[in-house]
């Protein structure tokens, strides 16, 4: 293929709106390939509690919402899914039972910031069930929408994602799970790593830097033509424009005026050592941008998933070179 156009999107965090926009954008931008890199899971679980008299109550982002009609409930479900949250229907008795678990009813991934525990229990079961159901729906939607399009679509988890995510992607007919292997992106070899270096949040897929290095080296060993290779690695290279995020206090409160580098030193060293054609990264939502590390063009499209905004980057490769790139948002 003389010219290859890739749409790369990352960190949609459960947003139904962002995923649908991703599928639509593949055709709008006439992409040959779509790559959706983790994190795929949302972070929050919103209970919709049935009240006496047929009313329903739900707290969304600190706002209490009272609902009575089916139309209002459908809009609430859509609003919750658009921002990447999950919902479940319950009643006051079950809510009391859930509260006795001593865990957060609303949150999950950021439990350390709230000083709570979300180990095994009913809430965790509800969260995992909601994640699997939504992601399964995404796979079915992709099977329906992309059939016959001729567009190759790859997906992989990120550090925030539950282990169940891998099996759901594997069971999809259209989208290819690219994680922890080499796949062919037309005539370009691509290796993918969902794991990150250690974070303050103690997420599902984290390794010390020495383990990240081992995993990267194992993947690199599968590449036969590094000059045309793509490193699709969720965590960005350390100490670059792609990994700057707010510094956290001891209580995990983000600073408003001080940033730190949160990327991986192992990923950066691998890029410097092997000089692939392209590096695709995410993880740090605030650090949309591009950097050159030697000959390698590294990109992070950023993320505004909670607003239902899909951020991405269109990359055009020609004669195994990066011809151009264009950040897109909408």
Give a yes or no: residue 113 inside a domain. Answer: no
Give a yes or no: residue 307 inside a domain. Answer: yes
Q: What phi and psi values does residue 294 have, to the nearest 5 degrees?
A: 65, -125
Give a yes or no: residue 86 inside a domain. Answer: yes
Co-location of 146 and 290 in the same domain: yes
Co-location of 213 and 289 in the same domain: yes
Give a yes or no: residue 124 inside a domain. Answer: no
Beta-carbon contacts of 248 under 8 Å, excluding residues fewer than 6 positions away, are: 200, 254, 255
Co-location of 148 and 75 in the same domain: no
Co-location of 239 and 91 in the same domain: no
Q: What's residue 88's pLDDT? A: 93
Co-location of 282 and 292 in the same domain: yes
Selection from 150, 269, 265 nearest residue 220 by Cα: 269
Give a yes or no: residue 254 inside a domain. Answer: yes
Q: Report H helices in the chain.
A: 16-28, 70-82, 92-99, 122-146, 164-171, 209-220, 265-274
Give a yes or no: residue 312 inside a domain. Answer: yes
Q: How many domains does the chain have?
A: 2
Query: Of 106, 124, 153, at which residue does a domain stop?
Result: 106
CATH number for the domain including 58? 3.30.420
Q: How far apart are CA 307 and CA 320, in angstroms?
A: 35
Residue 111 DSSP code: T
Q: What's residue 25's pLDDT? A: 98
Co-location of 150 and 197 in the same domain: yes
Q: What's residue 142's pLDDT? A: 98
Give a yes or no: residue 97 inside a domain. Answer: yes
Co-location of 37 and 154 in the same domain: yes
- Domain hosting 56: range is 45-106
Co-location of 240 and 182 in the same domain: yes
Q: What's residue 95's pLDDT? A: 86
Q: Could you say which residues of the chain have pLDDT below 70?
A: 1, 102-120
Co-location of 65 and 88 in the same domain: yes
> Using CA atoms in the order 131, 134, 135, 140, what is the torsion angle rounded to 10 degrees?
160
Co-location of 66 and 184 in the same domain: no
Co-location of 173 and 49 in the same domain: no
Q: How far apart are CA 85 and CA 271, in angstroms?
A: 35
Structure tokens at 128: 């995992």
Any bridge partners for residue 3, and if so which? Answer: 318
Strands 311-318 and 3-10: what pairing?
antiparallel
Q: What is the DSSP code string of 242-257?
A: TSEEEEE-TT-PEEEE
Q: What's residue 104's pLDDT? A: 57
The angle that helices 16-28 and 70-82 make with each other, rounded to 10 degrees, is: 70
Q: What's residue 42's pLDDT? A: 92
Co-location of 71 and 184 in the same domain: no
Give a yes or no: residue 116 inside a domain. Answer: no
CATH number for the domain including 31? 3.60.21.10
Instruction: Provide the whole-model pTM.
Output: 0.94
């Amino acid at each position: 293929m003389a010219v290859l156009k890739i749409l790369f999107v990352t960190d949609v965090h459960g947003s139904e709106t962002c995923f649908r926009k991703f599928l639509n954008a593949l055709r709008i931008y006439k992409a040959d390939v779509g790559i959706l890199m983790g994190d795929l899971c949302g972070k929050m679980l919103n209970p919709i509690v049935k009240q006496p008299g047929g009313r329903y109550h739900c707290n969304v982002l600190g706002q209490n919402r009272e609902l009575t009609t089916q139309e209002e409930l459908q809009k609430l479900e859509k609003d919750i899914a658009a921002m990447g949250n999950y919902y479940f229907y319950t009643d006051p008795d079950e809510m009391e039972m859930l509260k006795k678990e001593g865990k957060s009813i609303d949150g999950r991934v950021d439990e350390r910031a709230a000083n709570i525990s979300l180990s095994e229990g009913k809430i965790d079961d509800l969260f995992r069930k909601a994640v699997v159901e939504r992601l399964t729906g995404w796979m079915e939607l992709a099977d329906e929408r992309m059939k016959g399009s001729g567009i190759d679509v790859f997906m992989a988890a990120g550090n925030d994602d539950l282990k169940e995510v891998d099996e759901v992607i594997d069971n999809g007919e259209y989208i290819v799970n690219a994680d922890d292997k080499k796949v062919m992106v037309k005539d370009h070899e691509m290796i993918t790593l969902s794991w990150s270096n250690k974070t303050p949040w103690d997420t599902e897929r984290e390794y010390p830097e020495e383990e990240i290095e081992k995993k990267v080296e194992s993947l690199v060993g599968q590449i036969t033509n590094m000059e045309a290779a793509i490193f699709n690695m969720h965590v960005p290279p350390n100490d670059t424009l792609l990994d700057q995020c707010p510094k956290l206090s001891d209580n995990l409160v983000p600073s408003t005026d001080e940033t730190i580098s949160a990327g991986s030193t192992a990923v950066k060293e691998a890029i410097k050592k092997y000089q692939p054609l392209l590096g695709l990264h995410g993880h740090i939502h605030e650090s949309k941008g591009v950097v050159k590390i030697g000959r390698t063009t590294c990109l992070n499209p950023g993320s505004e998933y909670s607003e239902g905004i899909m951020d991405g980057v269109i990359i055009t490769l020609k004669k195994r070179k990066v011809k151009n790139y264009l950040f897109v948002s909408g």
